[in-house]
Structures are given as C-alpha cells and as structure tokens.
Structure 1
Amino acid sequence: MPSISARIPDDDNAELEAVIQLLDEEKSTVIRKALSEGLQSLRQRVAIEQYQSGEISVNQAARVAGVSLADWLTIAREHNLTTQLAPADLDEDAAAAREL
C-alpha cells in the first residue's frame, strides 16, 4: 500500500483527533476512511454538477460518480436533478439500462 504525507491546518488536526476518539480507531485507519469517503463525495458532486449543466448523460454521470446506473438514478432523484438530453444521450442511456 502506498504511503503519503500531508500537512494539515491545526483546526483539521483537532477535528481528526476528535474523530479518532469518537471512532476509537487508529489514526491511519481514520485517515483512510476519511479519504475514501471524501473522494467518493467529490466524485458525486462533480457528477451532479456536470449532469445538471447538461455536460454529461445519465450513464456518464454514473461513471463519473463511480456508482451503478441504478444508484445514480437514486442520487439524481434525491437531488431533484433535471437536464436537457440530446437524442444520442438518450440512446446511450437506453443501451446502458438494457444491460441492467
């Protein structure tokens, strides 16, 4: 497993220590969990923004978010997302839906 190092502000370090105590886990475990959850959150946020702006289709948004098409549709519904799709986008999304 690769190793990284990073400098963090004092406020973030205090928050990290609080979460370590809350979870009663090792610092490295908490950092790995926070990084994983943070990366997933960032992917989802980018997918939401690009989908809402019409830059990407439903299928592409699911790929950007790193989730299944069914999970993306749930995310989109939870965020009341709407977009204008081109006919080619609909064809691509329909093909992806048939694969489910």
Structure 2
Amino acid sequence: MYYTVYMPSISARIPDDDESELESVVELLGEDKSTVIRRALEEGLTTLRRRNAIERYQSGDVSVHEAARLAGVSLAEWSEIAREHNLTTQLSPEDVEADADAAREL
C-alpha cells in the first residue's frame, strides 16, 4: 500500500543573487531545487528559533526552560547551546524553581 504525503506549496520571489546561489547549491549537493529549498528552510528556521531563544535568554526575558522550548530543543541540548555561546543571565528564584519543576517532569 502506498501513502501520499501532503506538503503545502508556497511561492516566493527571491533576488537574482539568491537564485544564483540556490542554483550553485543545487549543483553542489546534486539534489533537486525543491529538496534544497526545503532543507534550507528547515535549517534557517532552526537557526532563527535558536537565535531568538539565545537573545531572549541573555536579556533575561525567559528562563532556561522557556529558552529551550523556544529553541525547540531539550534542556540538555539548551545547556550545550548556552555553554557554546557563553550565555549568562540573572534568574530570579522563581525562574530557578520553574526550571527545576520542568526538569523533574522529564
């Protein structure tokens, strides 16, 4: 039995320079244009999520648990990201308790 995977279709206008870069990467990877665009979008969205989480964590807007959730990673993965970026923030006792509660739920 075969199943069809539904994927929504989108269209976007891109500058000529990006089109040239896309063609270059398509050739480099030896994959079709749609696959390369999907991979680039996935990797780009991951990067944007992590960058936002890093900025919000460092500014003290979010706790460790919330930063991990925003980044779409586990607490262990977030700890590695925080270490790699030398992230520090001032957490309130409430934030520490909330993070401890979240860790206990795992």
Matched, 1:87 2:93: yes
Partner of 2:4: none
TM-score, normalised to structure 2's length? 0.92
Structure 1 gap segments, 5+ residues each: none
Q: Which of 46, 54, 59 lines up with 2:60 in the alignment?
A: 54
Q: What is the root-mean-square deviation in Å for CA atoms of aligned residues? A: 0.7
Measured against aligned partners, the alpha-carbon deviations of 1:15-69 in whole angstroms (never above 9, x if no partner) come to 1001000100010000000000000000000000000000000000000000011
TM-score, normalised to structure 1's length? 0.97
Structure 2 gap segments, 5+ residues each: 1-6
Percent of aligned pairs with the same amino acid: 72
Shift of 1:99: 3.0
Who wins on radius of gyration, i.e. which is larger?
Answer: 2
Cα distance in 1 between the residues matched to 2:104 and 2:86: 24
Matched, 1:25 2:31: yes
Letter in 2 for 1:85: L
Shift of 1:97: 1.9
Q: How many residues align?
A: 100
Letter in 1 for 2:60: G
